[in-house]
Amino acid sequence: MPYEPGSTQCRVLIDCKAQIEGMLLALERIDNSRHIRDQLVAVHNQLEGLHELHRRQPEELTSSSGTGG
């Protein structure tokens, strides 16, 4: 499915990142939660990387469609 701003994939990724951010804020109030928070930050970063791939798709399609067409 081609990337569209506001697509289902992007909406899911944005929602997941927001949920993790909420968990991070809540876990700050709990002692000895640093390891869990570190893992959540790593997952958040992975989701951000996936989201970045979705954002770059239009650039790749635009640059490749202009050649040899």
pLDDT for res 61: 53
Whether the per-residue pLDDT at 3 is higher than 90: the answer is no
Q: At what angle do helices 34-65 and 8-27 cross, to 10 degrees?
A: 160
pLDDT for res 58: 63
Whether the per-residue pLDDT at 69 is higher than 80: the answer is no
Q: In angstroms, rounded to a whole number, what is the distance separating the alpha carbons of residues 52 and 23?
A: 22
Q: Does the reported pTM lie above 0.85? A: no
How many CA within 13 A on the CB side of residue 58? Answer: 7
Q: What are phi and psi of 33, to 5 degrees?
A: -105, 5
